[in-house]
Amino acid sequence: MFALLDVEVRVAGLSFWIMGVQGRRARNGGAVIQLPTYRDTDGRARPAVVMPEELRKPLVDAVMEFLAEEGAVERRYRA
């Protein structure tokens, strides 16, 4: 893990915070954003936040853009 962030999300005029969003290095040398998890009674990691792709993708894109602005990751360019 190279980054640990708290993210404010606004949806339909309402705000909430997601604490513990992680920036991790991917095996291919890139970066991935992981939403927070917790350990269940069997010790397995479970998602602490479940959201539809329509919300998750913009959140991940915004976090990656922030990390790029801070110089923590290279900006992703799309053709």
How many domains would you assign to the chain? 1
Give the model's confidence band at 77: pLDDT under 50 very low, under 70 low, under 90 confident, else very high. low
- Residue 59 contacts residue 36 (beta carbons within 8 Å): no
d(CA 56, CA 65): 14
* Residues of the domain holding 55: 3-69
Residue 77 maps to a domain: no
CB burial string 11-40: b at 16+ within 10 A, e below = eeeeeeebeebbbeeeeeeebebebbeeee
Residue 74 maps to a domain: no
pTM: 0.82
Residue 75 maps to a domain: no
Residue 40 maps to a domain: yes
List pLDDT tens digits, range 10-51. 889 999 999 999 999 988 888 999 999 999 999 999 999 999
Dig out the tokens for 16 from the structure.
Answer: 């909430």
